[in-house]
Structure 1
């Protein structure tokens, strides 16, 4: 898939209290195909810990082009 589904942006920062709901939101993004971008950031106030996690949509893999030659059976490795 070249673009994220549902017209979502390629880069997202998910934030929220450090709880099951936040973990599920990150898991859902991963299930859609996003990948983690760095580690989580944490901030605390008097009441709770707030977490932020960036996710990015992976770039399409670049086409791999092999230039060169293949070894042959008559190479030096076969000489004894």
Structure 2
């Protein structure tokens, strides 16, 4: 029983050290901040998740951009 308690405590501490992947936003996905965040993430899976989140965010931003284009005059 005495050996189980330190093991449980060690497992609990390891679980607390999970690094969080930052949320994708205009600030965190800017080129300089993006490179800094990627270099700070230690796990490859977290780097891939953050990269995909930024790509998705940037794609959504491009879809929201629009420019007014007048329609051609009717020729009936």
Q: Which has the higher helix share?
A: 2
Q: TM-score when scaled to structure 2? A: 0.31
TM-score by length of 1: 0.30
- With a CA cutoff of 8 Å and minimum separation of 6, indicate the structure with the bigger relative contact order: 1
